[in-house]
């Protein structure tokens, strides 16, 4: 079956702009979570959605938001981009967290 698909793979944005990233989970997976990966902070949890509801949120400012659609596809949005938002954003889907999470290839965002 197809894996987790993230688009786009690369993005370059200017400070102050906003950006939307997309994630299509594995078919049948209703949980989608997002992580930010940076060299300094490692992998940090952003938020998790299940059946269109945000169940959990990490410690990120309100500029980071997300949503999930009825087909389980998810988007995350970052408004008023800052240089520090440059990172690899990873999406993961799961049937049940206890059985593991499957990650997408990520979207590499560069803010200039």
Partner 1 sequence: AQSVSQHNHHVILSEAASLELGCNYSYGGTVNLFWYVQYPGQHLQLLLKYFSGDPLVKGIKGFEAEFIKSKFSFNLRKPSVQWSDTAEYFCASPTGANNLFFGTGTRLTVIP
> Which residues lie near partner 1 (CB under 8 A)?
4, 31, 33, 35, 42-43, 45, 48, 50, 55-56, 58, 90, 92, 97-106
List CB contacts of 76: < 8 A, sequence separation 6 or more. Answer: 20, 21, 23, 34, 46, 47, 64, 65, 66, 89, 91
Contact, 86 vs 110, CB < 8 A? yes
Nearer to partner 1, 37 or 79 (CB): 37
Nearer to partner 1, 72 or 81 (CB): 72
Q: Which two tokens stand for residue 60?
A: 């990120």
Q: How far apart are CB 1 and partner 1 at their closest, in Å?
A: 15
Q: How far apart are CB 17 and partner 1 at their closest, in Å?
A: 26
Q: How far apart are CB 55 and partner 1 at their closest, in Å?
A: 5
Of the candidates 92, 110, 107, 90, which has an alpha carbon nearest to the alpha carbon of residue 35? 90
Nearer to partner 1, 58 or 79 (CB): 58
């Amino acid at each position: 079956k197809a894996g987790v698909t993230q688009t786009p793979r690369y993005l370059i944005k200017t400070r102050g702009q906003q950006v939307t990233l997309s994630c299509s989970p594995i078919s049948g997976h209703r949980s989608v979570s997002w992580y930010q990966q940076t060299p300094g902070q490692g992998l940090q949890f952003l938020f998790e959605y299940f059946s269109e509801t945000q169940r959990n949120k990490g410690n990120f400012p309100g500029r980071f938001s997300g949503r999930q659609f009825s087909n389980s596809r998810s988007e995350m949005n970052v408004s008023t981009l800052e240089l520090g938002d440059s990172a690899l954003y990873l999406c993961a889907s799961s049937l049940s967290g206890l059985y593991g999470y499957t990650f997408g290839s990520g979207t590499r965002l560069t803010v200039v």
